[in-house]
Structure 1
């Protein structure tokens, strides 16, 4: 299999000709068209913009968007018979068909526009929109997923997974939100895992008992970025025998080794299904959680937090579903356990200095940098997990947890809104920094140099950190009340 060629057309929008990016046939109307008719054309074709061209010549005269109809027609109280030439944007900027995708991205970002006409020797030939750009990237991710689903060997999967960094750069460059980017990247890890499980079953034969492979950590929360190790475990049916364990041990090694070959390095903490501790029947997992909930030690709280971030990837999902409901109910009723979980969640704090500045790392190879994982997204992830525990919320995704906690009344509307916005800022800056590192030929990491940010960005990041610290303080007060 040639692992490079399938992505030459899809992977890098910046090098694509504009003519290859036009998603539909040109749609236009003459300047004498009424705004009512123009609106009907846009509605019927499900588009948000319309080119205004000279009848007979196709010369581009202007552009009309849904925003124009709102701001220049409805808001101004104009009659529906108003001609489009009276409200259109005349002589709009355009690009020729031989321009590159990088020209589109540059112009849209610089001028904050969502529609860009394309012309060929003065004649309108099509429209490029932000939706087209998003569709292009979605197709890129879909191509990776489709090709992964067709593979039956680790070498091909490893070749395909090498495109993940460029996909991250493209998604960040297209201004996708962080939850979209991390979801797509997590979907790729999920697909690789499922294919590796198929390979394992093909090599080992049918499993001797029902099983469920689960992801934890960032993959479990569907929040993987450009830097990911593997965190996983196996839930086995209680009917499994001691003789059957060899099968699942071999399965775990096939999958874990395959993930490592695809760039998901072995977990430094050995939190993987290859570790017998993390490959057990459900009855043992139930005992684990009971012991963690009554043993109030830091290690127990850390292990318990893992339980709440598990997400089934492949197998018999009921092996986890019932236990998840049990543990949420049991844990939420145990005030001492909740208090210790809160204390554990407050160990990671935002890197704020004494005088509204940052407090970067002072020693080590990343001295002078901010750890955007441990001191950035992790404190918010921990807060969201606690709120999910308090509200018995089954979601494991951080943003989904915060939204559900708001709806359940666990967090105030204003508090949830502020924390979600802070999370969006921190998580997005983390991804932007990783994308910049990849573009500069570096291995992406979680370390950000404050000096690389503009003053505007530094202010926003600092404000986001302050929100997180404020929410941690409020949670700490609750912890004091529980003790």
Structure 2
């Protein structure tokens, strides 16, 4: 038996209880019930109502999922059952004693109070990010938090003089030109100054001065989108629209209270670089930026978005420099990114994956221009650290630099005859995102391809099969299936066996639901909203994705801080027992979701 003093002494050596004050620790120890469980006996089963949190005092306990697969084997000092306590009190795993075991049972009410009142305990047990409070800055703030909702506007029929009077009366530096609630243009003080200098009549309609169809952003975008857009386009006023309807505006004045992150400076520097060497000097600062963003506690999807924004700016600048060197393009074109850049999920390790869609007016003699442009941009990206794609998935390859009609034919053939190569290529191309050029070349292609692919059950089945080729690194017993030999022996690949299986699942859900989102996390959220996967399945998978992706970024940030080159290979022994347990738990969730998709059940059951 254990008395209160013995329990107190034990917990004082176990994290996170070692962070409690002496008074808190005494209260916890006094509330604990000692439970003895003989070898092979059950502690609880899936679906049981949990009495509280268990801490292993002596012996070993095996935890398994609903299918019976072992999640982890826990020894002295490990806690378990907190997942069930954080939801409806029902166990989502099963636990049994491997050896004779003594467990400390902390009542659920005491556990919840500890999590609520003690930040160290809350941080230790918090797996879901829901409700997680993070420092908000310009980079992570939603535009809806930054914008002015009281937008001063005029109608298209009003005169230049009346517009100037409104500006003076309301003390604003810009006016929205609105027709029936829809934004049609914007007029700024600079436009007024230019009109005065040019002798424009005050009676002219304001439409003669306005910037028609100005660039705008949706309210759900990030604050960094505002800053990046303003810096890259050299504008000081950015309308915010929701499906074409004007809902607000952000100006430089609105941003004064925020301290811009260095990502915005890197975007600006890349967007105004004189040559590829200067772009390379900008991207050399990316590892430090990644480490700073991770260290600040930003969610993984924000970190990778900011890192990708810099690649986008570098690519667009290289396109501009290429046109300056080669002359204007003979016909319109569109440069697109696929892979991690296309999904806006770049980390500290990225190669380049891109392609070129050219207007169907292209003539055979025009290919020399686009071949030279592609080489200029790809060479510049390689110089900047975005290395050539090992699979030659780049616009420099003749195959991936074609007119729109050829691209339509590609997708039609892949969908009609989904062999192994077609599956691989379609998987890559479903992550396409326009970067620079005429975006209209892609609009119809995306929707038409999604409709055609989703309606072909054979193609969908092949895509599902292809998505199961990457599996989580789960070992047969308590650990992980690590790499057996070579440079990365005893490590796990957090890319190909970590995030890629979830990326593949997100792509399948997007195909099944004809979802237009390209980012993986956005796909999972949209799949839940559209009923492609159940709320519980989506909740588990999002938790798993967040844990795996953030483990990967934390690993890379630690390497950068140590002066090493970041990679995707991590030794599980570098994690604590608790971290290993939850990471393995996340991999079990992914495997379960893969199994459901493979059996044609989705995650609705």
The aligned runs of 1:392-411 (5 Å cut-off) are 392-411=514-533
Deviation at residue 110 of structure 1 after TM alignment = 7.6
Match of 2:135 among 102, 119, 130: 130
CA distance in 2, matches of 1:442, 1:420: 30
Q: Which residue matches 1:195?
A: 317
Q: Secondary structure at the match of 2:580?
A: helix
Q: Secondary structure at the match of 2:328?
A: coil
Q: Secondary structure at the match of 1:212?
A: strand
Q: Which moved more, 1:147-156 or 1:130-139?
A: 130-139
Q: TM-score, normalised by structure 2?
A: 0.57
Q: Which residue matches 1:384?
A: 506
- Residue 452 in structure 1 maps to residue 457 in structure 2: no
CA distance in 1, matches of 2:138, 2:263: 13
Q: Which stretches of structure 1, 4 residues or more, deviate above 3 A after TM superposition? A: 109-113, 129-138
CA-based RMSD:
2.1
Q: Which residue matches 1:338?
A: 460
Question: Residue by residue, what CA displacement relative to the aligned partner does 1:266-291 show, whole Å, maximum 9, x if unpaired?
Answer: 00000000001000001111111111
Bigger radius of gyration = 2
Contact 1:339 1:479 in 2 (8 A): no
Deviation at residue 456 of structure 1 after TM alignment = 1.4
Deviation at residue 149 of structure 1 after TM alignment = 1.7
Q: Which has the higher helix share?
A: 1
CA distance in 1, matches of 2:260, 2:340: 21
- Residue 297 in structure 1 maps to residue 419 in structure 2: yes
Q: Which residue matches 1:146?
A: 268
CA distance in 1, matches of 2:580, 2:400: 41
Deviation at residue 112 of structure 1 after TM alignment = 9.0
Q: Secondary structure at the match of 2:434?
A: strand
Deviation at residue 459 of structure 1 after TM alignment = 1.0
Q: Which moved more, 1:291-300 or 1:339-348?
A: 291-300
Match of 1:233 among 355, 376, 379: 355
Deviation at residue 134 of structure 1 after TM alignment = 6.8
Q: Secondary structure at the match of 2:364?
A: coil
CA distance in 1, matches of 2:292, 2:422: 40
Q: Secondary structure at the match of 1:233?
A: strand
Structure 1 358/266 Cα, relative in aligned 2: closer, same or farther at 3 Å?
A: same
Q: Secondary structure at the match of 1:160?
A: helix
CA distance in 1, matches of 2:259, 2:429: 33
CA distance in 2, matches of 1:307, 1:321: 14
Q: Which residue matches 2:179?
A: none
The aligned runs of 1:78-477 (5 Å cut-off) are 130-131=135-136, 138-477=260-599
Contact 2:138 2:261 in 1 (8 A): no
Gap regions ≥5 residues in structure 1: 1-108, 114-128
Contact 2:423 2:462 in 1 (8 A): yes
Q: Secondary structure at the match of 1:243?
A: helix
Structure 1 315/446 Cα, relative in aligned 2: closer, same or farther at 3 Å?
A: same
Contact 1:215 1:233 in 2 (8 A): yes
Contact 1:434 1:446 in 2 (8 A): yes
Question: Residue by residue, what CA displacement relative to the aligned partner does 1:326-351 show, whole Å, maximum 9, x if unpaired?
Answer: 10000000000000000000000000
